[in-house]
Amino acid sequence: MWNSSAEFFAMGGYALYVWSSFGACALILLLEPLSIRARFKSIVRRLKQEQLAEQFDKESGQ
Amino acid sequence: MSQINNSSFSNSRLINWFKLSSPSTFYPLAGKLIPLFWVLAVVFGAAGLWVSFFVAPVDAVQGQGYRIIFIHVPTSWMSMFIYLMMAAWAGLGLIFNTRLSAMMAQALAPVGAWMAFLSLWTGAFWGKPMWGAWWVWDARLTSELILLFLYLGFISLQASIDNPKRADKAGAILALVGVVNVPIIYFSVKWWNTLHQGASVSLTKAPAMAQTMLWGMLLMTLCLWMYSIAVALMRVRAIILERESHADWVRQLSEVKN
């Protein structure tokens, strides 16, 4: 169907429209899981710090 | 006596659904399921893109520009489907007062909002070359925009109420009332005379398009479906940790322990 990669990327003159659509989707589908992972890591870090603080309280209380 | 009978009854069930609805059992299960859904999303996505760009023939009228259909229709379908799922979880939470249901609704809202946004975005980039306009106040476009606002309203309403129980209740009512918009989107092309084309796939009629195009759309839809589940499970795990941070089982988790 495509004779060259240049022809593929040109999309029969619709390159701007086709690649803007697929590009935006690819970008969002990539960024969303990354932002969730960052959120997950930050909550785990907070929980760890809380436990550490509690441990410290217990040990210094003795 | 009746108590003994009750407990043996619930133990004899193959899966105890109410036990699964507890965050402490669902959290590790979701963690195991996430990689599976990622693999499925990648496989369906690769197959779908291959069909969309290398198998489906060029359109007689719209040339190569029509290929936007392979991302536009799946995002639109998912935006409506995720809304129904979100409203169903929110409704279950309202009826049974289960904590996890409300968290599931909350986890689904952002991915649904992104799907609605992408549906509008890809629609604009399809409308410009074919209709000559990025946007028109057409029934289908306007009702899809309202769907995006419903998602954003749900997210901001939940975020604006401090008490999680009250936030869940208010959000559930908003989500359930908004369900009325989904059939409006779906039937808008029939009920009103619109610029937007009619349904490309119908359950009652033979599809008005080439078989390969239908396959491309279905594979891309499956990809986005699996992606949405994976992302919702990831987000619900974060929400569970945030909301249950003082529960004993959270403190015992290996990832939280020092």
Of A1, A13, A51, nearest to B256 by CB-CB distance is A51
Measured between beta carbons, the chain B residues lying within 8 angstroms of A20 are 125
Calculate helix-pair angle for A15-61, B69-96, nearest 10 degrees.
Answer: 40
d(CA B123, CA B103): 31
The full set of domain ranges for chain B reads 29-252
Measured between beta carbons, the chain B residues lying within 8 angstroms of A14 are 63-65, 67, 129
Q: What is the pLDDT of residue B200?
A: 67
The full set of domain ranges for chain A reads 26-62
Task: Provide CB contacts within 8 A for A15, sequence distance 6+.
Answer: A9
Q: What is the pLDDT of residue B1?
A: 41
Is there a contact between B63 and A33 if contact means CB atoms under 8 Å apart? no
Low-confidence stretches of chain A (pLDDT < 70) are 62
Query: Does residue A24 belong to the interface with chain B, where contact is any CB pair within 8 Å?
Result: yes
> pLDDT averaged over consecutive 10-residue blocks of chain B (258 residues)?
47 63 90 97 97 89 90 96 97 91 96 97 94 91 96 96 93 96 90 76 60 91 97 96 89 81
Query: Percentage of chain A with pLDDT > 70?
Result: 98
d(CA B214, CA B51): 10
